[in-house]
Chains A and B, each alone.
Chain A
Amino acid sequence: MAVPTIQRETSPARPPTSRLLLWLRKQGPRVGRPFFAVVLSILIGSIVILISSPGSFGDRLTTISDAYTALWAGSFGDGFSLSNTLVKVTPLIFASLSVAISFRAGLFNIGAAGQIVVGAMAADILALKATTWPGWLLVPSMILISMLAGGLWGAIVGFLKAWRGAHEVVTTIMLNWIAFYVTDYFIDGPFTAPGGVNQTNALPLQARLPRITDIYNATLGQFLPKADPYMYLVDVGFLIALLALGVYWFISKRTTFGYEIRVLGENPKAAVYAGIPTKRNILLVMAIAGAFAGLGGALHLMGQFPYQMVATTSRVDTTGFDAIGASLLGMNTSIGILLGSLLFGGLRSASPLMQASGISGDIVLVLEALILFCMASEFLPALRRVLPDWLRIMPARAASPATATPAPLPVEESGEEVLQEASTKKAGDDGTSLKEE
Chain B
Amino acid sequence: MFFQALLQVLSSSNTWQNALQFAALLLLPALGGVISERSGVVNIGMEGMMLIGAFTGVYVAVNTNNVWMGLICAIICGGLISLIHAVVSINFKANQVISGIAINIIALGLTSYLLFVLTPEHQGFPQLAASLRIPTPNWGPLADIPFLGAVLFQQNLIFYLALLILVGIHLLLFRTNIGLRIRAVGEHPQAADTAGVNVRLIRYWCVVGSGLLSGLAGAFLSLGIVGIFNANMTAGRGFIAMAAVIFGKYTPLGAAGACLIFGLGEALSYSVSLQGAGIDSNLIGTIPYLLTLIALVGFVGRTVAPAADGAPYEPGSE
Task: List chain A residues, Cβ under 8 A from B305.
Answer: 167, 411-412
Is the Cβ of A372 less than 8 Å from the Cβ of B117?
no
Of the listed residues B285, B298, B304, B309, the one surrounded by the most CB atoms of chain A closer than 10 A to its CB is B285
Q: Counting CB contacts under 8 A, is A432 at the interface?
A: no
Is the Cβ of A411 less than 8 Å from the Cβ of B307?
yes
Binary A-proximity of B284-302 (CB < 8 A = 1, otherwise 0)? 0110011011001110001
Q: Counting CB contacts under 8 A, is B72 at the interface?
A: no
Interface residues of B in 257-303 (CB under 8 A from A): 280, 282-283, 285-286, 289-290, 292-293, 296-298, 302
Given known contacts A366-B113, A401-B93, A405-B95, is B44 in contact with A372 (CB within 8 Å)?
no
How many A residues touch B, CB cutoff 8 Å?
Answer: 60
Is the Cβ of B112 less than 8 Å from the Cβ of A360?
yes
Stretch at the interface among A126-134, A330-338, A374-382: A374-382
Is the Cβ of A409 less than 8 Å from the Cβ of B42?
yes
Q: Counting CB contacts under 8 A, is B157 at the interface?
A: no
Q: Counting CB contacts under 8 A, is B317 at the interface?
A: yes
Question: How far does the Cβ of B225 sit from chain A's closest Cβ, in whole Å?
Answer: 18
Is the Cβ of B296 less than 8 Å from the Cβ of A166?
yes
Of the listed residues A324, A376, A411, A412, the one surrounded by the most CB atoms of chain B closer than 10 A to its CB is A376
Q: Counting CB contacts under 8 A, is B94 at the interface?
A: yes
Interface of A is mostly: helix
Contact check: which of B97, B297, B318 meets A110 at CB < 8 Å? Answer: B97
Contact check: which of A54, A175, A378 meets B289 at CB < 8 Å? Answer: A175
Task: List chain A residues, Cβ under 8 A from B113.
Answer: 48, 52, 360, 362-363, 365-366
Task: List chain B residues, Cβ under 8 A from A69.
Answer: none
Task: List chain B residues, Cβ under 8 A from A175.
Answer: 289, 293
Is the Cβ of B101 less than 8 Å from the Cβ of A171?
no
Q: How far is the CA of A370 from the CA of B110 in the complex (A)?
A: 11
Is the Cβ of A424 less than 8 Å from the Cβ of B317?
yes
Q: Counting CB contacts under 8 A, is B10 at the interface?
A: no
By beta carbon, the residue of chain B nearest A371 is B102
Task: List chain A residues, Cβ under 8 A from B92.
Answer: 377-379, 382
Is the Cβ of A321 less than 8 Å from the Cβ of B105?
yes
Is the Cβ of A171 less than 8 Å from the Cβ of B311?
no
Q: How far is the CA of A178 from the CA of B298 in the complex (A)?
A: 19
Task: List chain B residues, Cβ under 8 A from A173.
Answer: 44, 239, 242-243
Q: Counting CB contacts under 8 A, is A420 at the interface?
A: yes
Given known contacts A52-B114, A170-B246, A170-B296, is B101 in contact with A181 (CB within 8 Å)?
no
Task: List chain A residues, Cβ under 8 A from B246.
Answer: 170
Q: How far is the CA of A189 from the CA of B317 in the complex (A)?
A: 55
Given known contacts A173-B242, A181-B286, A185-B283, is B94 in contact with A368 (CB within 8 Å)?
no
Q: How far is the CA of A85 from the CA of B90 in the complex (A)?
A: 36
Question: How far does the Cβ of A241 sit from chain B's closest Cβ, in whole Å?
Answer: 23
Q: How far is the CA of A420 from the CA of B190 in the complex (A)?
A: 14
Interface of B is mostly: helix
Is the Cβ of B98 less than 8 Å from the Cβ of A372?
yes
By beta carbon, the residue of chain B nearest A159 is B297
Q: How far is the CA of A363 from the CA of B109 in the complex (A)?
A: 6
Q: How far is the CA of A189 from the CA of B278 in the complex (A)?
A: 10
Q: How far is the CA of A382 from the CA of B232 in the complex (A)?
A: 34
Q: How far is the CA of A200 from the CA of B80 in the complex (A)?
A: 42
Contact check: which of B91, B96, B280, B308 meets A188 at CB < 8 Å? Answer: B280
Is the Cβ of A164 less than 8 Å from the Cβ of B105?
no
Is the Cβ of B116 less than 8 Å from the Cβ of A376?
no
Question: How far does the Cβ of A169 sit from chain B's closest Cβ, in whole Å?
Answer: 5
Is the Cβ of B285 less than 8 Å from the Cβ of A411?
no
Q: Counting CB contacts under 8 A, is A373 at the interface?
A: yes
Q: Counting CB contacts under 8 A, is A260 at the interface?
A: no
Binary B-proximity of A49-74 (CB < 8 A = 1, otherwise 0)? 00011100000000000000000000
Q: Counting CB contacts under 8 A, is A212 at the interface?
A: no
Q: How far is the CA of A362 from the CA of B112 in the complex (A)?
A: 6
Given known contacts A174-B243, A363-B113, is B108 in contact with A420 (CB within 8 Å)?
no
Is the Cβ of B297 less than 8 Å from the Cβ of A164?
yes
By beta carbon, the residue of chain A nearest B96 is A409
Task: List chain A residues, Cβ under 8 A from B168.
Answer: none
Q: How far is the CA of A363 from the CA of B283 in the complex (A)?
A: 34
By beta carbon, the residue of chain B nearest A156 is B293
By beta carbon, the residue of chain A nearest B285 is A181
Task: List chain A residues, Cβ under 8 A from B289.
Answer: 174-175, 177-178, 181
Task: List chain A residues, Cβ under 8 A from B89.
Answer: 377
Binary B-proximity of A130-164 (CB < 8 A = 1, otherwise 0)? 00000000000000000000000000000010001
By beta carbon, the residue of chain A nearest B245 is A170
Task: List chain B residues, Cβ under 8 A from A377.
Answer: 88-89, 92-95, 99
Is the Cβ of A177 less than 8 Å from the Cβ of B88?
no
Is the Cβ of B280 less than 8 Å from the Cβ of A420?
no
Task: List chain A residues, Cβ under 8 A from B298.
Answer: 164, 166
Task: List chain B residues, Cβ under 8 A from A316.
Answer: 232
Task: List chain A residues, Cβ under 8 A from B106.
Answer: 365-366, 369-370
Q: Counting CB contacts under 8 A, is B84 at the interface?
A: yes
Task: List chain A residues, Cβ under 8 A from B292.
Answer: 170, 174
Q: Counting CB contacts under 8 A, is B134 at the interface?
A: no
Q: How far is the CA of A429 from the CA of B236 in the complex (A)?
A: 40
Question: How far does the Cβ of A190 sit from chain B's closest Cβ, in whole Å?
Answer: 10
Is the Cβ of B310 less than 8 Å from the Cβ of A378?
no
Q: A169-B97, A377-B99 are in contact. List 7 more A-B contacts (CB 8 A).
A: A181-B285, A188-B280, A313-B282, A365-B109, A375-B98, A377-B94, A413-B307
Instruction: Jot down 15 A-B pairs with beta carbons below 8 A, ordered by A.
Output: A54-B117, A164-B296, A166-B293, A171-B293, A173-B239, A174-B292, A177-B286, A181-B282, A182-B283, A184-B282, A184-B285, A368-B109, A370-B102, A373-B84, A411-B307
Using CB atoms and an 8 Å cutoff, list the residues of chain A in contact with chain B. Answer: 48, 52-54, 108, 110, 160, 164, 166-167, 169-171, 173-175, 177-178, 181-182, 184-185, 188-189, 313, 316, 318, 321, 324, 328, 355, 360, 362-366, 368-370, 372-373, 375-379, 382, 401, 405, 408-409, 411-414, 417, 420-421, 424
Using CB atoms and an 8 Å cutoff, list the residues of chain B in contact with chain A. Answer: 42, 44, 84, 88-89, 91-99, 101-106, 108-110, 112-114, 116-118, 122, 231-232, 235-236, 239, 242-243, 246, 280, 282-283, 285-286, 289-290, 292-293, 296-298, 302, 304-305, 307-312, 317-318
| Chain A to chain B: the 8 pairs with minimum beta-carbon distance, closest first | A365-B109, A377-B94, A369-B106, A377-B92, A360-B116, A376-B98, A372-B102, A362-B112
